[in-house]
Amino acid sequence: MEQPQPLTILIADDNPVDRLLLASILRQFGHKVILAVDGRDAVEKFDAKTVQLVCLGITMPHKNGWEVAEDIQCITGDLFIPIIFLSGVVDAVALSNCLRVGGADFISKPYNTALITTKLNTIVRLLVMRRTLEEQRDAMALYNQQLLNEQDVAKVVYENITHSNCLNDSALSTFHYGTHTFNGDVILAAYKPNGGMHLLLGDFTGHGLSAAIGALPLADIFFDWTKKGFLMRQIIPEINARLKGILPTNMFCSAAFIDIKVNDKSIEIWNGGLPDLLFFSQQSDRPIRFASKNLPLGILSPELFECRIDPVSFSSGDRIMAFSDGVYEALDGAGTMFCDSVLPPLYKGEIRAEESVDWLMAQLQQEDVLDNPHDDISCLSVRLDPAIGIDSSRHLVSKAHHEAPADFSFDYVLHADSLRNTDPLPYVLQILTTVPGLSRFSSQIFMILSELYSNALEHGVLKLSSAKKDSSDGFSSYYEERERTLANLTEGFVKISVKVTSDRQHRLLVLYVEDSGVGFDFHRASYDTSNTELLYNRGLGLLHRLCSKLEFSKGGRAVSAHYCWQVGEES
C-alpha cells in the first residue's frame, strides 16, 4: 500500500468518538493532526501557513461545515487547501452543498481505513501537482519578468544605435509604427562631413526581434562610414556584403538610400525593393517616381552586387519621400491595398508635397491601420535645401586649447585602376583628422578635398564638361557619362599631396592636387557664388571662400589650396 506524504491536517467534528477515531487513523500514517470540537473552534485553529488539509463534519454547533468551509476559503484566498467533508449523511442535497462550497471530496461514516488511505493518497498527489503547477507558474512569471527586463535593456541599446543620428533635423519628417517592441523597419539619417546628409529607410523581412537584429550591423556601417566620408555607392555594397554574410538565407532588407549633396544641389537615390520613392519638384505638377532597380540588401554576393543609382538635381523647397511596404500594402476598410485605393491621389500630384506626410498618416488612421497594423509602417520625407548638414560637425567635436604641433607630409598617387575602384578621400580625411585641432574643421577640409579631387578626376582625367549640368536632364546625363567613362578608364592619374606645418599658434594645411588632363584657363575662372540657382561651376567660389590661398599651376592641371587655423580656434 502506498503511504501518503505526512501532512498537517485539521479535523473538526463535534462527535468526539468519530473525531478521535479519524485522528487515530491519520496519525498511524504519520500525519500531524489538529483537533477542533466545533465549527467556530475550527476557524480559530485554522492556520493557512501550516494546515495542508481540512476535514470537516457537516453538522456542528456554532458553525456548520459548509459555513466553516466558506470562512476558510476567505482566509486562504488563492492558496489551495483541500477540504474533505465527514458525515453519515449521504443524500444528494448534502453532497451537492459540499461541492458548492468548494469541497474536494467526501468521507462517509463509519470510517473505512482502506478508503481513507486511498483518498489521502489522491489528495497528496493533487497537492503535489498543485504545488508543481504553482512553482512552474512562479518560474514562468520570473522568467517573463527577466525577459521583459532584458528586452527593455536591448530596446535601449537598439534605439541608441539606430537613433544616434540627425532625425531631429527640421528638414526631416518621419513616422514609424511597429507591430512589436522590436520591428524590422529602420530609419537612419547622418550628416556627411562635407555637408549634406545620408538617409536610409530599411525594411527587414519578418517582424519582432529576429527582424530588428539585422538593423544593428546596418546602422553601424551606415553611421561609421558616413562619418568617415565614404560615398553612398561605397557604403551600400559594404552593407550588402555584411548582411549577406550574417543573415539567414530567407532574410534580407529592402531599402532606400538617399544621398543629399549640397555642393551641387543634387540627390542620388538607390532603391532596392521598396515602393517607388517620390520626388516632388516645384517645377512639376506630379511627383517623379523612382522605382526599385536593385535587389534588396543581403541577397546577392559581393561579386554579383551592382549599384544602380538615380541622380537628380533639386531646388530649395523640393521634397523626396519614401515609405515601407507596410504603407504600400496596408488594407483599407474594404480590404483593398493602399497602393490601389489610397495612394493614387499622392502619385497624381493631387496632394501638396509639404502636406504629404500628414495626409498619409491621416489616411492610415482613418482606415484603422495604425491601431491594427499587419506590418511595420515607416515613412520618411525630406525638404531639400543646400544648407542641410552645413557646419554640423561643430557640435560633435570638443574644443582643445592645448593642441600639440604637427609637421608631416605625404603623397598619394592614383592611377587608372585605383581611380576606377577607390575613393581616396575618406582615407586622406582620416589621416588629417588625427592632426590635433584639425578635426574640428573636418567638414570644411572634406569639402575642399572633395572639390579638388572631383575637379581633377571629372574635368582633368575624364575630360567631362560642367556645362552639361545646366539642366535636370543634363545633370543625369553628366553622371551617366561619368560612370561610363570612369568604368572604361585605362590611363591617367590624380596626385594628392598633403603637407601640415605649424608654429606656436598658427597651423597650415596645404592640399596639392594634380591630374593628367590638359588643364584649363584658370585666369578666366569665376569665384562668384551669388547665383544660387546655378547647378554647376560653384566649386571654385567655394574653395576661394574657404581657403586662405588658392594657387593654380602647370596650365591648370595642378592646384594648391592653403587652409589656416589657429590653436584653440572654433570652426
Mean local confidence (pLDDT), 84-110: 80
Give φ, ψ of 241 to 5 degrees.
Answer: -65, -40
Q: Are 477 and 562 in contact (CB under 8 A)?
A: no
Buried/exposed code over 138-168 (b: 16+ C-beta within 10 A; e: otherwise):
eeeeeeeeeeeeeeeeeeeebeebbeebbbe
- What SS3 state is found at 143? helix
Q: Which three cell numbers stand for residue 527?
A: 569665384
pLDDT tens-place string over residues 164-218? 567 788 899 988 877 666 677 888 899 988 788 999 999 988 776 667 777 888 8
In angstroms, the CA 103 to CA 86 distance is: 11
Q: Which three cell numbers stand for residue 497?
A: 599631396
pLDDT tens-place string over residues 483-522? 889 989 999 999 999 998 887 677 889 999 999 999 888 8
Query: 408-415 and 277-280 as β-strands: parallel, antiparallel, unpaired?
Result: unpaired
In angstroms, the CA 220 to CA 168 distance is: 19
Query: 185-191 and 197-204 as β-strands: parallel, antiparallel, unpaired?
Result: antiparallel
Place of cell 442535497: 93
Among candidate residues 335, 227, 346, the one with its CA nearest the CA of residue 276: 346
Distance in angstroms between the alpha carbons of the first and the last residue of the chain: 91
Q: Which three cell numbers stand for residue 167?
A: 532625425
What architecture (CATH level 2) is domain 407-564? 2-Layer Sandwich (3.30)
Q: Count Cα atoms within 13 angstroms, Cβ side, for 470.
A: 3
- What SS3 state is found at 139? helix
Q: Are 267 and 311 in contact (CB under 8 A)?
A: yes
- What is the overall mean pLDDT for the chain? 85
| DSSP string over 404-443 | PP--EEEEEEEEHHHHHH---HHHHHHHHTTSTTGGGGHH
Give the per-residue pLDDT at 100. Answer: 83
Residue 5 has pLDDT above 80, yes or no: no
Q: Are 188 and 223 in contact (CB under 8 A)?
A: yes
Largest interatomic CA distance in the chain: 127
Residue 535 has pLDDT above 50, yes or no: no
Q: What percent of the chain has pLDDT over 90?
A: 38
Q: Where are the domains of the chain?
A: 8-133, 164-384, 407-564
Domain 164-384, CATH: 3.60.40.10
Domain 8-133: CATH superfamily, name plus number: Response regulator (3.40.50.2300)
Q: What percent of the chain has pLDDT over 70?
A: 89
In angstroms, the CA 445 to CA 117 distance is: 92
